[in-house]
Amino acid sequence: MSTSKNYLVSDFIADWLEKHQISIVFGIIGSANSYIFDSILRKGFTKVIFMHHEQSAVMAAGAYYRASGKISVAIVTAGAGSANAITGVVCNWADSIPCIVLSGQESTKYLIEHSDLRMYGTQGFDIINSVKKITKQATLLTDPNKISYTLDESLHVAMSDRPGPTWIDIPMDIQSSNIDIESLSSFVNTETANYSQEINFDQISKMIESSERPVILAGHGIRLSKSIESFHELMNNLKIPVVHSWSAIDIVSSDDDFNYGCPGIYGQRAANFIIQNCDLLIVIGSRLALPQTGYNIDNFAPNAKIIMVNNDELELNKYSRYDMKIYCDCKYFIDRMNEKIFDSYKENWVIKCNRYREDFPLVEECHLEDNKNFDNSYVLINEISKKLEDNHIIVIGQGSPLPCCHQALIHSSNQTIFASNGLGEMGNGLPSAIGAALSDISRPIILFDGDGSSMMNIQEFQTVIGYKIPLKIVIFNNSGYLFIKHTQKMLFEGRYTGVDSETGMSLPNFEKVSTAFGFEYFNTKKNNFDEFLSFSGPAVLECFMNPEQDLVPKVKGIMTNGGLLAPPLEEMSPLLPIEVLEKSMVEVKKLSYEIRL
């Protein structure tokens, strides 16, 4: 690091990025952050990827971490630049993704003079108070000598315990202040998470031994705590059926004997039967989000004792249903469990689970029937996924690709697969694919996105072209917002508004749009998957779904005289014949007979 006389706060930032080997950051230049970009330019270590929307920059920074485990930074300007970044921050907040946002701010003088006003200086406002609830830490830097402390602390906070975004707002005069390296205060981490609880591993082993139908639900916390390998070892040791959350889809390959897939409202039938019949459920690093459990937690795994392992106390206390709450890092739990040797294999239960898997394939008859006239999204995803490389990065956008990928994708554990699951914002797909691709440009990358979702942040097509990213994008053209049509069918007798061109929301010609930006264009009427996948540069594959395609299997709400009823997870639509349910459930509920009347 330089100690020359003209050494600015912004120079320190550029040096700090190098010190932490942060070689790629994402951002958009403005006036209020211009010193930071100038210092990065002069330093020449970190490459800035200039996006076309600040929300994209933050999403890309998050995706860079998701694909590589390495943190990145988004650099945005004051006012509108900071405001635009918020959606990306909430996305990373919801999915526990670390990233640091650095924003420029109006000069300190205006922050003081205008502190009670709506706006500071030319276009600034109080971003730090605005983002306090959606970041792990948000700091306004007012003392140039605290730059080192603030950056180190921000990095530590973002990465530690349950990860998430942090934000540092730096007024322009502070960025351009001269500092003396010797007088900087430095951050020393003295706090480590206080996972003080004694964990009774003997009791856990006994609970497993005495259960007949144990299941592990694997969550994203396993990847976040860098314990995927230890988890594979645990699976091998315990030989207990494993299901996983959407966010943990890439932890175990789909052909692993003990991976039984993904339960939930848009889950897989076999996984739902396994959850609903188990008598012991060990949840490792998942927050049990509503789309996973269904709307009534008491109907989720109703016969099971639940052991909940999580490093967020608030999540542990979310429901009163848990029989044992374990407050610790997933890695600690998994490693200690791997030291225990006991008889946990339940042959009859494993045979039963295997039968569920055979009886309920991912692609169902109704999908194949639909696929005769259209590209059915389940069939298409299932087919294309069989052709992907072992090290592919698969980014899932929003709209029907979100459930369909989690229900029908075939994958290996070397692949990286993710979506914005917590916030589920349209427009996440493209920026995320850019961030993930740039974390390792040698890995092939594919994005599955809805036609409506791809319109939000479609400006990033240009970023893909400009940076020559060989991204493959599959666009599911169903001429509108299919997801919302289904809501309108369920709630408003199919009165559509704002979901297609007839009801006020139109979509463009994707061939024209993609070729105008410079993508190679393919479509399923003319091209096969191999032609598309083997193309060397950026390419779009447009497929054509039935604009009314059903998104099933799904645990669908049922309208009754008493209002909308949320059935339990075993009741996925299309409803199975009662005889099949009787064969598949330890205990069939009265409700199941009633809804079939």
> Using CB under 5 A as the criterion, which residues of the chain lie in contact with Mg ion when the complex forms?
450-452, 478
For residue 2, which phi and psi values (nearest 5 degrees)?
-75, 145
Three-state DSSP class for residue 77: coil
Least distance from Mg ion to the Cβ atom of residue 206, Å: 50
- Residue pair 305/240 in contact (Cβ under 8 Å)? The answer is no
Query: Of 106, 250, 315, 451, which one interacts with ligand TPP (CB under 6 A)?
Result: 451
Query: Distance between CA atoms of 75 and 40, rounded to whole angstroms?
Result: 11
Q: Which does 425 bind (CB under 5 to 8 A by kind): ligand TPP, Mg ion, none?
A: ligand TPP
Nearer to ligand TPP by Cβ, of 281 and 404: the residue is 404
Least distance from Mg ion to the Cβ atom of residue 500, Å: 9
Nearer to ligand TPP by Cβ, of 329 and 500: the residue is 500
> Binding to ligand TPP by residue 542, rule CB under 6 A?
no
Question: Kind of pairing, strands 99-105 and 47-50?
Answer: unpaired
Q: Which does 484 bind (CB under 5 to 8 A by kind): Mg ion, ligand TPP, none?
A: ligand TPP
**Comparing C-alpha atoms, which of 297, 61, 322, 309 is closest to residue 162?**
309
Question: Kind of pairing, strands 280-284 and 324-327?
Answer: unpaired
Three-state DSSP class for residue 120: strand
> Binding to ligand TPP by residue 584, rule CB under 6 A?
no
Least distance from ligand TPP to the Cβ atom of residue 295, Å: 17
The contacts of residue 18 (CB under 8 Å, 6+ apart) are 43, 45, 46
Instruction: Give, as ranges, the residues between 459 and 498 that touch ligand TPP (CB under 6 A).
Output: 476, 478, 480-484
For residue 381, which phi and psi values (nearest 5 degrees)?
-65, -45
Query: Distance between CA atoms of 461 and 478, rounded to whole angstroms?
Result: 20
Nearer to ligand TPP by Cβ, of 350 and 423: the residue is 423
Query: Of 450, 553, 567, 568, which one interacts with ligand TPP (CB under 6 A)?
Result: 450
> Binding to ligand TPP by residue 221, rule CB under 6 A?
no
Least distance from ligand TPP to the Cβ atom of residue 198, Å: 43
Q: Which does 538 bind (CB under 5 to 8 A by kind): ligand TPP, Mg ion, none?
A: none
| # of chain residues touching ligand TPP (CB under 6 A) | 19
Three-state DSSP class for residue 141: coil
Q: Which residues of 497-522 are buried (b: 16+ CB within 10 A; e: fewer)?
A: eebbeeeebebeebeebbeebebbbb
Query: Distance between CA atoms of 339 and 234, rounded to whole angstroms?
Result: 9
Q: Which does 433 bind (CB under 5 to 8 A by kind): ligand TPP, Mg ion, none?
A: none
By CB under 6 A, which span of 18-26, 89-97, 289-297, 398-406 interacts with ligand TPP? Answer: 398-406
Least distance from ligand TPP to the Cβ atom of residue 545, Å: 7
Nearer to Mg ion by Cβ, of 134 and 458: the residue is 458
Least distance from ligand TPP to the Cβ atom of residue 265, Å: 14
- Residue pair 263/243 in contact (Cβ under 8 Å)? The answer is yes
- Residue pair 335/230 in contact (Cβ under 8 Å)? The answer is yes
Nearer to ligand TPP by Cβ, of 12 and 483: the residue is 483
Nearer to Mg ion by Cβ, of 375 and 451: the residue is 451
CB atoms near residue 10 (< 10 Å): 27
> Binding to ligand TPP by residue 84, rule CB under 6 A?
no
- Residue pair 449/79 in contact (Cβ under 8 Å)? The answer is no
Least distance from ligand TPP to the Cβ atom of residue 422, Å: 12
Query: Of 452, 538, 553, 567, which one interacts with ligand TPP (CB under 6 A)?
Result: 452
By CB under 6 A, which span of 217-225, 237-245, 445-453, 583-591 interacts with ligand TPP? Answer: 445-453
Least distance from ligand TPP to the Cβ atom of residue 269, Å: 21
Query: Distance between CA atoms of 28 and 540, rounded to whole angstroms?
Result: 26
Q: Which does 567 bind (CB under 5 to 8 A by kind): Mg ion, ligand TPP, none?
A: none
Nearer to Mg ion by Cβ, of 452 and 567: the residue is 452
Least distance from ligand TPP to the Cβ atom of residue 402, Å: 8
Question: Kind of pairing, strands 165-171 and 99-105?
Answer: parallel
Least distance from ligand TPP to the Cβ atom of residue 87, Å: 7
The CB-nearest residue to ligand TPP is: 399
Burial class (CB in 10 A: 0-12, 13-18, 19+), 279: middle
Query: Of 453, 514, 584, 592, which one interacts with ligand TPP (CB under 6 A)?
Result: 453
Nearer to ligand TPP by Cβ, of 7 and 476: the residue is 476
In angstroms, how far apart are the furthest CA atoms of the chain?
A: 83
Place of tokens 């400006």: 459
> Binding to ligand TPP by residue 103, rule CB under 6 A?
no
The contacts of residue 19 (CB under 8 Å, 6+ apart) are 1
Question: Kind of pairing, strands 393-396 and 47-50?
Answer: unpaired
Nearer to Mg ion by Cβ, of 252 and 458: the residue is 458
C-alpha count within 13 angstroms, C-beta hemisphere, residue 116: 0
- Residue pair 399/453 in contact (Cβ under 8 Å)? The answer is yes
Q: Which two tokens stand for residue 58?
A: 């933050």
Instruction: Give, as ranges, the residues between 412 and 441 that touch ligand TPP (CB under 6 A).
Output: 424-427
Nearer to ligand TPP by Cβ, of 342 and 492: the residue is 492
**Comparing C-alpha atoms, which of 315, 344, 341 is closest to residue 328?**
315
Query: Of 107, 154, 400, 412, which one interacts with ligand TPP (CB under 6 A)?
Result: 400
> Binding to ligand TPP by residue 398, rule CB under 6 A?
yes
Nearer to ligand TPP by Cβ, of 137 and 514: the residue is 514
- Residue pair 185/146 in contact (Cβ under 8 Å)? The answer is yes
Where does this chain bind ligand TPP (CB under 6 A)? 398-400, 424-427, 450-453, 456, 476, 478, 480-484
